[in-house]
């Protein structure tokens, strides 16, 4: 696999697949971390004398043009960050887009419109991939966030460009996660939160072969509590997975892994409640109430386990952190990790990234991955389609 720093780009048109899938509210970017993370790759391409064409998706327009999901606000923000003009193309493929690419001079930057305005992107359609590659000399993949997807912009396109390489961010993710998690310094503690057990079963099982302590929070903990005979009110829960949850608890015990579950919880009537409905023991959750955060005793239990860790991997919030009333558990974990000295702290997943930024503690963590699903599949040990495509490019 080639890397950007070793490829000649002088006078060439370079298509960079970035991950600019950032949260927008009324056209205003709420968190620009993914854009900022891509800047070294963009700047290096410009320094090497390239004409830079950027492509990304934003949101889930499902193959249709959704004006609210235009990348225009992203292009404007990128222009400010680079301190140079970023031209916005009206589309990502077609005659108009092709002319914008053809007319682009070295040292200039062009942002193509949202890839997912076309169904061909997610379908990895050959014609769409070929159109995207038209007029391009070099393709650079720098989007770890989509590395687990076999889409036209990161897999199909590699068959229609003369040369491909891995961007600086993608390289950093690959090398850091591979090295840090292959042989972690122990004790190794994994924190797994978020909504569903079903999306993380494979990861949880793989973690049991690697970690010393596994901490479970978020709505996925409800399934474990139910499996242990605790009623969970009207909480989000996967009742059909209680047997799987029990098996994970048993496997942890058999492998000598300490598995920690909430001992108390914060409840509410709905996700939108402005105030909490109180704190209850995990064995006494009231009927009709939803578990929306971990309680203070649970925070103490979890932070005590983290105090002796040497490597920590965190994926998934402890509760409905978007609502300040139910954000305290997640923020407490973030603050605890930020204070640990001499510990490798790794954050993966968009929601967890958002918690860390909400707490204004991003600079206190060793590494914040830009991947969500790709981070999880990497943790599972799966081969990611984007890397396979880069390795096969030109062969």
| Among 34, 48, 149, 171, the one annotated catalytic | 34
The structure tokens listed for 228 are: 């242990």
- Name residues of the chain where pLDDT drops below 50: none
* pLDDT of 149: 95
What is residue 61's predicted lDDT score, i.e. its pLDDT? 97
- What is the per-residue pLDDT for 380? 79
Number of Cβ within a 10 Å radius of residue 68: 11
Residue 350 is predicted with a pLDDT of: 72
Write down the catalytic residue from 310, 335, 373, 388.
Answer: 373
Decide: 338 and 306 in contact? Cβ < 8 Å.
no
If you average pLDDT over every residue of the chain, what do you get? 95
Q: What is the pTM of this model?
A: 0.85
Cα end-to-end distance, the chain, whole Å: 11
Q: What distances in angstroms separate CA 181 from CA 184, 190, 209, 278, 341, one per listed residue? A: 5, 11, 12, 38, 18
Residue-wise pLDDT for 314-365, tens only, equals 999 999 999 999 999 999 999 999 999 999 999 998 789 889 988 999 999 9
Listed in sequence order, the residues at least 6 apart from 80 whose beta carbon sits closer than 8 Å to its beta carbon are: none
**335 annotated active-site:** no
E-assigned strand segments in 123-180: 138-141, 163-166
Residue with tokens 């494979």: 202
Catalytic status, residue 350: yes
Assess whether 206 carries a catalytic annotation. Answer: no
Q: Which residues pair with 267 in a beta bridge?
A: 291
Return the exposure string of 212-225: e unless at least 16 CB atoms fall within 10 Å of the residue's CB, then b.
bbbbbbbbbbbbbb
pLDDT value, residue 196: 85
**156 carries an active-site annotation:** no
- What DSSP line would sit under 52-76, residue for residue? EEEE---S--TTS--GGG-SHHHHH
Instruction: Return the DSSP state at 30.
Output: S
Domains delineated in the chain: 4-173+385-392 (3.40.50.1260), 184-364 (3.40.50.1260)
Residue among 2, 43, 130, 196 flagged as catalytic: 196
- Tell me which of 350, 358, 371, 372 is the catalytic residue: 350
């Amino acid at each position: 696999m080639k890397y950007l720093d070793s490829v000649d780009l002088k006078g060439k048109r370079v298509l960079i697949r970035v991950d600019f899938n950032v949260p927008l509210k009324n056209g205003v970017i709420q968190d620009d971390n993914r854009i900022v993370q891509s800047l070294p790759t963009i700047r290096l391409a410009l320094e090497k004398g390239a004409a830079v064409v950027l492509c990304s998706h934003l949101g889930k327009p499902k193959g249709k043009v959704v004006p609210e999901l235009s990348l225009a606000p992203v292009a404007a923000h990128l222009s400010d960050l680079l301190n140079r003009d970023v031209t916005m193309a009206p589309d990502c493929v077609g005659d108009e887009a092709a002319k914008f690419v053809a007319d682009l001079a070295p040292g200039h930057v062009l942002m193509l419109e949202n890839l997912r305005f076309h169904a061909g992107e997610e379908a990895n359609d050959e014609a769409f991939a070929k159109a995207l590659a038209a007029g391009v000399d070099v393709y650079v993949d720098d989007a770890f966030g989509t590395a687990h997807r076999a889409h036209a912009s990161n897999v199909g396109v590699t068959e229609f460009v003369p040369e491909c390489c891995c961007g600086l961010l993608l390289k950093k993710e690959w090398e850091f996660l591979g090295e840090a998690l292959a042989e972690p310094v122990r004790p190794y503690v994994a924190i797994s939160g978020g909504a569903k057990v079903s999306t993380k079963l494979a990861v949880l099982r793989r973690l049991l072969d690697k970690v010393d302590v596994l901490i479970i929070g978020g709505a996925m903990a409800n399934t474990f509590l139910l499996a242990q005979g605790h009623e969970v009110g009207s909480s989000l829960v996967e009742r059909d997975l209680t047997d799987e949850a029990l098996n994970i608890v048993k496997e942890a015990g058999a492998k000598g892994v300490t598995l920690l579950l909430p001992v108390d919880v914060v409840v509410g009537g709905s996700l939108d409640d402005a105030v909490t409905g109180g704190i209850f023991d995990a064995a006494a959750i009231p009927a009709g109430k939803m578990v929306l955060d971990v309680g203070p005793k649970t925070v103490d239990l979890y932070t005590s386990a983290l105090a002796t860790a040497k490597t920590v991997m965190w994926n998934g919030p402890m509760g409905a952190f978007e609502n300040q009333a139910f954000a305290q558990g997640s923020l407490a974990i973030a603050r605890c990790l930020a204070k640990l000295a001499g510990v490798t702290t790794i954050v993966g997943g968009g929601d967890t990234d958002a918690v860390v930024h909400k707490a204004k503690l991003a600079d206190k963590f060793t590494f914040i991955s830009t991947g969500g699903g790709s981070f999880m599949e990497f943790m599972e040990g799966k081969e990611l389609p984007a890397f396979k495509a880069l390795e096969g490019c030109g062969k």
